[in-house]
Amino acid sequence: MLHYRELGSGKPVILLHGFPLSSQIWEPVAQRLAQTYRVIMPDLPGHGASNTARGAAASTMELIAGEVLYLMGRLGLEQAAVAGHSMGGYAALALARIAPHRLSGLALVTTQARGDTPEGKQGRYDLAEKVGQGGSAVVATAMAPKLFAESVHPDSPLYEQADAMMRATPAEGIQAALRGMAERADSREMLGKITVPTLILAGQQDRVIPADRSEEMAAAIPGSRLVVIEGAGHMPMLERPEQTAGALASWLAAIG
């Protein structure tokens, strides 16, 4: 069962964080959206205060989507708008595939529809092995330098905040997420079938998932809106919270 926090009241929006972070990344954006909406922020399996689901060796995107659907059931939500950041976006795409009728809108934040290349998959399995030996710090050290735009100074408190979140993620959660991401499907085929209002939000200087992956999704999802945030990297919700919240608010307003 996922641990979650919620703020505000109104139409529901669920914010899914990326790997290997926690619901805390959404705090500055949630504070803004909560003036109008009910904002629900789960910690994904094996991250934050949520356990690795049922001790699974791999947190597959379908497993994560299933946990989100279960949470919606507990909260009595027939439908919700779902925004997913990076790995959370992979899970949001799985949700759109498994249960499209439960989504009122979809936002894909610094993510992609492509699956891993064979080398990419192998890299994830190798990293999972290393995390088994060296713990969460292995991933925190590898990811930290790429999370933010180059213009973010290394002394910025953003680095400290992200580093603390990553180190707090248990090694088993990180390993299960790495295996789950390695096993994820390529979602490009299904993009043309998405019918709910869709926002695609990219960081112009994203060094983890390049912005052209967002352009690719925008071209394939009928009627979708693409917003590229200038000067932001992989974490626009922390780097440019005002603009990120603004883009999400326009998307939510369009859902009606």
> Which is closer to ligand MLT, CB of 11 or CB of 97?
97
> Which is closer to ligand MLT, CB of 132 or CB of 222?
132
> Which is closer to ligand MLT, CB of 100 or CB of 123?
123
Does residue 140 touch ligand MLT according to CB under 6 A? no
Does residue 96 touch ligand MLT according to CB under 6 A? no
Q: What angle do CA 100, 20, 83 make, to 5 degrees?
A: 30
> Which is closer to ligand MLT, CB of 22 or CB of 198?
22
Q: Which of 82, 181, 191, 202 binds ligand MLT (CB under 6 A)?
A: 181
Kindly state the tokens that stand for 142: 């590898």
Q: Is the bond leading into 20 cis (omega within 30 degrees of zero)?
A: yes
The answer to whether 184 touches 90, Cβ cutoff 8 Å, is yes
Does residue 86 touch ligand MLT according to CB under 6 A? yes
- The CB-of-184 to ligand MLT minimum distance in angstroms stands at 9
- The CB-of-64 to ligand MLT minimum distance in angstroms stands at 11
DSSP readout, 14-56?
Answer: EEE--TT--GGGGHHHHHHHTTTSEEEEEPPTTSTTPPPGGG-
Q: Could you tell me how many residues of this chain bind ligand MLT (CB under 6 A)? A: 6
- The CB-of-181 to ligand MLT minimum distance in angstroms stands at 5
Kindly state the tokens that stand for 115: 């699956």
> Which is closer to ligand MLT, CB of 87 or CB of 232?
87
**What Cα–Cα distance (Å) separates residue 256 from each residue in 26, 107, 206, 250, 253?**
22, 15, 31, 10, 5
SS3 label, residue 100: helix
**What Cα–Cα distance (Å) separates residue 195 from each residue in 38, 91, 184, 255?**
23, 17, 22, 12
> Which is closer to ligand MLT, CB of 86 or CB of 187?
86
**What Cα–Cα distance (Å) separates residue 115 from each residue in 80, 93, 181, 187, 209?**
25, 12, 8, 7, 12
Does residue 109 touch ligand MLT according to CB under 6 A? no
Site string for ligand MLT, 7-36 (x = CB under 6 A): -----------xx-----------------
Site string for ligand MLT, 207-226 (x = CB under 6 A): -x------------------
List residues near ligand MLT by CB under 6 A: 18-19, 86-87, 181, 208
